[in-house]
Every structure is written in C-alpha cells, then in structure tokens.
Structure 1
C-alpha cells in the first residue's frame, strides 16, 4: 500500500449483542430472531465490553492510538464505538461505510444454525460441497463476497488514512475478511480463505504497515476484557 495508507489497522468486533445472547441461550433449539441484522442492539455485557475497549484505546502509546475511525452502519457496531469513545474521551469523528456491514445471510436472516438445518436441510450438503469460504446462502453473501468489498474498502483508505493508525469497528466476518485481504495477495484462491475461527465479541486485531504490506501484530485478542 502507498505511503498515504494506514500506518496501523486496529479492527474490532462489536460487543455482545442481544442476538448473540439469544442465539447462545437457544443452543441447539431452532430460533427465529425478531429483529433484522441492522437493528440489533448491545446487551449490558456488550456495553461493558465496549467500555473496556475504550480504556484499552486510551492506554495505547501515541504512535499506536487511532487517529481516524471507520464503522459498520449496523446499530450494534455504532453503539460499540459510541460507548468506547465515551470511555476513551476521544473526540474523533466516525465515518460509516456500508462495505463494513456484516455478511448478508439472505434466506437465513434471523435464523440460528438449528433453524437453518430444519428449514433448509439441502443447504448443508451444498455448503460442504463448495466450502465455507465460497458458500453463498440463498439470496445472501459468501465470505468471498465480503472479502471483495472489504478489499475495495482497504484500497480506498489510501489517502484518507493519511499514514495514521486507524480503527475499524465492525463484525466477525469483516475481521476475517481483513485478515485475508491484508495477509494474502489480491489473487489468492478461494481455498486460501481465512479459517473459520470464532472472532470474539469486542476482540481486537492489529496489523502494522511494514515496507508496503501489513504484518499481523495480534489477532482476536480479548485480554482487555479480563
């Protein structure tokens, strides 16, 4: 990336959401959640996690502390930033970018995995055949689709980032896509997609710019939540 790109990228998954909690409580029972993906708010725990994130950001050394912020348009991500900002005491404006939204689930929207298996049993076999990176739910997006829009977003940081550390507040799919974009070539094959590790709520992943590329500093770190 050119010199005007970010000197450091800090990517954060939003704090625990009400949908995260509902899905966890449902366990293996089918669940149809009542709100759309863009409407879900943080839980009380999610707000505490976001406050802890703000304290972590405030404690970073000057050269590592974000000087610009980009956020998903979804409510839980914007709430995460607002709570973190208040605890940090930072006056940074936030730029909301549609490309940082969560992976669109199409026909699976509002359904937990058990409900998907109940309503779309044939899709499990199709997902196994095409692989988790390339699999696209009916009417939704694959993780490869998310990578495509996140790659365009990262490319467009060249200039607005101005050689500064930047913060991205988004979703697990976006964090995984960032890892793929920042650590592989633009022509990486689908099988080279990121592993499906659980990216934790309010986790922090950091990359630093080194000689025209990005080097992973830490991934999926939740030490600040202890």
Structure 2
C-alpha cells in the first residue's frame, strides 16, 4: 500500500529553530501558507484520502491540499509530533537532533514521550489505515519527527532534516 508523507509548511518557530513538539500549536506563517499552496499545485491527483495531524501547522497544510483536490480529510492524533515535554519551546542548536536509532536518545523528556511511544502510535496508525483503506494511496500530512521515524523504520535511513512541505513516498 502506498503512503505519501508530507511535512507541514513553515511556522515562526521553525524559522527561529525552536522546538515545538505537540505542546506548541502554532499556525503556519505567511511563507508556510505559500509553501502549502505551492505544494498543492505541484502534487498529482494520485491519492484517495488525506490524513493529518490535528495540530494547526499540519491541519492548515492539509486543508489547503484537500480543498485543491476535493478529497476527504481525516484528522488523527496518532500523527501528532513527538511530545518533547520540557524541551518544548527551547532553541534547537545547529546540528543537534534527537537520535532515533541510538538508545542513548530513547528517553522521555519530562512529561513527554519516548521514541518507542511515538513508534507504537505510528505503527497503530499504519495498521488501522491499511485495514480501512486496503489498496488505496494515502496522503499523510504530519511533522518532521514522524517522517524521520518512518524513514528509519522502513528505509533504515536516519535523516538529519526534513524540509517543510517535503514529500516522502513509502510502500508499507
């Protein structure tokens, strides 16, 4: 089954290189809205349904795409960004990232989720979608952390950066 994962457009926190996680629910900035519109114009009509994180930045990106293609849009909490707890709102240092494959990084920031927690909900999402939409192509609008994790789990690639409105295809 084909999944097309898309990262949301830019927010002010993205521009300032600050961590958001789930706790900072920021809308797209003007550049992010333009990125989402441009993406909607570039995508091909080769998907059947759209799933999105309910966080504003993903929701707004997904709504622009859904309107362009007149597709059903379903929101799923499974697609929310990694809850980084006490790291929410903190500056991201250049080159710093939370490692996916390294056990040293699999911890729960105070009040947040571990990578294993995120993996469990992502696997539930994929299983449920495959059961409900067999043989369909699904567009998923979500967050950089989720897309990095799916790359690691299914392509064994550990990516340092997922660009805003970047597109990532998987056969799952």
TM-score band by shorter chain is 0.7 to 0.9
Structure with the bigger RCO (C-alpha within 8 Å, sep 6+) is 2
Correspondences of 1:90-109 after superposition (within 5 Å): 90-109=69-88
Give the C-alpha shift of residue 78 in structure 1. Answer: 0.4
Which consecutive aligned stretches of 4+ in structure 1 deviate over 3 angstroms post-superposition? 180-184
State TM-score, norm by structure 1.
0.65
Q: Structure 1 regions of 5+ residues with no counterpart?
A: 1-6, 25-31, 115-128, 185-193, 209-213, 215-226
The residue aligned with 2:140 is 168
Give the C-alpha shift of residue 177 in structure 1. Answer: 2.1
How far apart are the structure 1 equivalents of 2:58 and 2:80? 9
Pairwise CA RMSD:
2.5
State TM-score, norm by structure 2.
0.84
The residue aligned with 1:131 is 104
Give the C-alpha shift of residue 110 in structure 1. Answer: 1.6
Deviations 1:140-172 (A, max 9, x none): 122232111101111111222231110000001
How far apart are the structure 2 equivalents of 1:81 and 1:130? 33
Give the C-alpha shift of residue 196 in structure 1. Answer: 4.5
How far apart are the structure 2 equivalents of 1:182 and 1:157? 16
Larger Rg: 1
Name the SS of the counterpart of 1:95 in structure 2: strand
Give the C-alpha shift of residue 22 in structure 1. Answer: 2.8
The residue aligned with 1:21 is 15
